[in-house]
Chain A
Amino acid sequence: MAAYLLWPTDVPDDLKLPSVDENHLFDAALLDETEDFERFLRWNDIASNLVLLAVLALFAWRGWRFARESAAGRIGTGMLLGMIGLALVWIAQLPFAMADIWWQKRHDIVTAGYLEWALENWLVLGAEFLFICLWLLITMALAAPLRDRWWLAAAPVFAALALLLAFLTPYLVPDQHDPDPSLAADGKRIAHQTGLDDVELKVQEIGDLTEAPNAFAAGLGPSRRVVLWDTLLEPPFDRDEVRVVIAHEYGHHESQHIWKGLAWYALISLPLLFVVARVARRWGGLYQPRAVPVALLTLVAASLLLQPFDNLITRRMEMEADWVALETTKDPGAARELFEEFADTALQDPDPPEWAHLWFDTHPSIVDRIAEATAWENLRHP
């Protein structure tokens, strides 16, 4: 029922996307380069995930032995096991992460140095450690009174935490500043058109780390804002294209995508946690620290299996935000040019293989987005 309510978007159901031939839009050399670029990243990602599962399977089998390294109680030992599991995963995935960064540097997408990247990678691991500790603190604490039914109480707790995180995210983004007056005026105009006058526009300084263009909508209620990466404010992107990006991000807020994302999360986490609880029960349930390694494996494996479904949801939201942007700017030409430039600046494959699109892509393909702009134009200005 909830999924049925969350599924519809503002994009007309009967919208027919015209066929777009990527060979007419991009030269062959660029298509080869984008295909080559994404192919490496995809296979690297697949290999990394396979190693991830293998390491976690090994850890589920033997990892509980690390409990002897703990003088902490039940929950503390569970936390240690969770962190050790992530540490092993980090070690195993490090070569793939390095290959990823090497490939992106080779194609001038990432400009950050290896040392900078390593430090950030290390800090991210620290954040993951804290996350898994919090996760285990909640689940193992609930498992004491509720035993195998902890998941019933844990799902709303995690949803509340996700809500809190979504609210706080805009304040956690570093290096934000106000846009220049002319961009701020564009932002205000679009905010007014979408009925979101109270949502701020910010620019994030990120050009030292990457050349890739990006923007995002974040926050809930009073913390809502739209953040543009400064890489979007450089050529080849012109002001019309930037306006499309701003309108797209305001479209996310207008369509309540962050709320809907949270609702989807709450909806999915319930069966996900149920599966974790069922599997962990065979190892004494999450009340016991020895069940932590297998719970970690189940959680990660189930999340990987759900990835295509997650991507499907986000792709629908992105499609809807594009639609709102077209309705707001009424400039399908600028939208098409913007999407075409993504292929050049971010080396996005305009039309990836279907399996890869389903498994990896959180956004519609470039050809689909161009087709949507053309479909909007055909609908509104036949």
Chain B
Amino acid sequence: MISPHPVRLAVEDDLKRSRLTVFFRLLLAIPHYVWALLWSILMFFVTIVNWVVTLIAGRLPGGLHNLTAAYVRYLTQLFAYLSLAANPYPMFTGTDRYPIDLEIESPAPQRRLITLFRFPLAIPALVFEAVFLASYAGGSYSSGEGEHGYAGATTSSIGIVWTLAFFAWFACLALGRMPMGFRNLQAYGLRFGAQAWAYFLLLTDRYPNLDPADPPSTGPLHPVGLAVADDLRRSRLTVFFRLLLTLPHLIWLLLWGIAASLASILGWFAALVLGRLPTPLHRFLSAYLRYTTHVGAFVLLTANPFPGFTGTPGRYPLDPELPEPERQNRLVTLFRLFLAIPAFAVSSSLFTLALVAGFFGWFVALALGRMPRSFREAQAYALRYYVQTSAYFWLLTSRYPYSGPSLGQPEPETEPELAPAPAELAV
């Protein structure tokens, strides 16, 4: 039995958002930027002290623990506010009582060997943290080879939490509330970020947990799901050559993808006219979606076996569950491409998470012959969202993808914004 992580996220947010503060959110936070910068400079030195003290004493003293815990809590609250995961203006002290808050356990003994190598060990965790919370955009341009020469490059990176925040900004302004799926995914990212900082800053020696369902949470039912029947065992040989083994599938994907693109255009016109996707096209596109998911799971190490080329249901450990053809609203069908844009953006962000998990998972699977469960769960979550997005885009379902980490619980009968008590979610 694994004990709960000593750094946990508690969510007591009612999803309501003030349109005015949402509109000016980035500007309202200016005092916090200054304060966060000053506190971060202080924490640079505190972290060095933490490291030395923990190495010697085998645990972090109460005072240093409280200061570091307050900093991690403050950052989490600030990021929740900036990303619209929470509504109230946060305090500057990192004290609790915020709708998205941390529960941090008291100081506990830490293993000295892990403390000694803490900073290199934290690198994978910080890379994952960047996938959730990074925000960087930059570029460089220079001219060369005479007056006609020109060279340019831009780079940008935006974490999952900020991608969601971008679309949530419009949703909150329009609806006055935060979509639950968005908030829950942001809470997952904030929880992982807090655990990564806590590990790096020597608050705990427990490694951050990437599992999106730790602890288990609630979510609505969705007609599109992903059945996972993988035993985590991986064949080292096929892991080592995984990318090359995928080559024939990539060629087949390309060829099938051309046909699927044409079929989806045809299906769009048919659905506009008939009000539903014709069964043969539904079957064809479902098979293609299943196939892309199988290949994705194989190449990302989310599953072990070499997938088949036909997208047959029930033949792969990670298998999409797709609905039968159904009637669809013609107006929604007409604008389906535009409506799917936010879902594609979120899916793309989650794919980065799955990719990074695949990258680090490659080394782990080679060494242990197993994929870490938390990596597999995070990837399965990303793949499930991809399946829901694609199914929505290809008109296999009219239901919008749900971005939260958990599915399966019945939806509340009342609208969340009308609920008298705050929705509680442990992430």
The answer to whether A and B interact is yes
Chain A interface (Cβ within 8 Å of chain B)? 66, 69-73, 75-77, 79-80, 83-84, 87-88, 122, 125-126, 129-130, 133
Q: How far is the CA of A133 from the CA of B250 in the complex (A)?
A: 12
Give per-residue flags for B192-214: 1 if the beta carbon is below 8 A from chain A beta carbons, else 0. Answer: 00000000000000000000000
Q: How far is the CA of A70 from the CA of B315 in the complex (A)?
A: 10
Q: What band does the interface of chain B fall in when counting residues whose beta carbon is under 8 Å from A? A: 20 to 34
Given contacts A75-B309, A129-B245, 16 further A-B contacts (CB under 8 A): A66-B237, A69-B235, A71-B315, A72-B309, A76-B307, A76-B309, A80-B245, A80-B306, A83-B245, A84-B237, A84-B238, A87-B245, A129-B244, A129-B247, A130-B251, A133-B248
Q: Which residues of B contact A129 (CB under 8 A)?
A: 244-245, 247-248
Q: How far is the CA of A66 from the CA of B245 in the complex (A)?
A: 13
Q: Is B241 an interface residue (CB 8 A)?
A: yes
Q: How far is the CA of A130 from the CA of B252 in the complex (A)?
A: 11
Give per-residue flags for B308-319: 1 if the beta carbon is below 8 A from chain A beta carbons, else 0. Answer: 111000011100
Cβ of B361 to closest chain A Cβ, rounded Å: 17
Q: How far is the CA of A87 from the CA of B245 in the complex (A)?
A: 9
Task: Find out whether the CB atom of A73 lies under 8 angstroms from the CB atom of B310.
Answer: yes
* Chain B residue at minimum C-beta to C-beta distance from A74: B308
Q: Which of A87, A88, A125 has the most CB of B within 10 A?
A: A87
Q: A76-B309, A84-B238 are in contact. Are A71 and B244 (CB under 8 A)?
A: no
Chain B interface (Cβ within 8 Å of chain A)? 235, 237-238, 240-241, 244-245, 247-248, 251, 294, 304-310, 315-317
Q: Which residues of B contact A130 (CB under 8 A)?
A: 247-248, 251
* Chain B residue at minimum C-beta to C-beta distance from A84: B237
**Residue from B240, B245, B247, B317 within 8 A of A71 (CB atoms):** B317
Q: How far is the CA of A66 from the CA of B241 in the complex (A)?
A: 14
* Chain A residue at minimum C-beta to C-beta distance from B250: A130
Task: Find out whether the CB atom of A72 lies under 8 angstroms from the CB atom of B241.
Answer: no
Task: Find out whether the CB atom of B245 lies under 8 angstroms from the CB atom of A70.
Answer: no
Q: Which of B244, B251, B309 has the most CB of A within 10 A?
A: B244
Cβ of A174 to closest chain B Cβ, rounded Å: 19
Q: Which residues of B contact A83 (CB under 8 A)?
A: 241, 244-245, 248
Q: Which of B237, B248, B294, B307 has the most CB of A within 10 A?
A: B248
Q: How far is the CA of A70 from the CA of B306 in the complex (A)?
A: 4
Some 13 contacts from A to B, beta carbons below 8 A apart, are A66-B237, A69-B304, A71-B306, A71-B315, A73-B308, A73-B310, A75-B309, A80-B245, A83-B245, A87-B245, A88-B237, A122-B244, A133-B247
Q: Which residues of A contact B245 (CB under 8 A)?
A: 80, 83-84, 87, 129
Q: Which residues of B contact A126 (CB under 8 A)?
A: 244, 247
Task: Find out whether the CB atom of B306 lies under 8 angstroms from the CB atom of A76.
Answer: yes
Q: Which residues of A contact B316 (CB under 8 A)?
A: 71
Q: Which residues of B contact A125 (CB under 8 A)?
A: 244
* Chain B residue at minimum C-beta to C-beta distance from A134: B248
Cβ of B232 to closest chain A Cβ, rounded Å: 14
Cβ of B120 to closest chain A Cβ, rounded Å: 24
Q: How far is the CA of A80 from the CA of B245 in the complex (A)?
A: 7
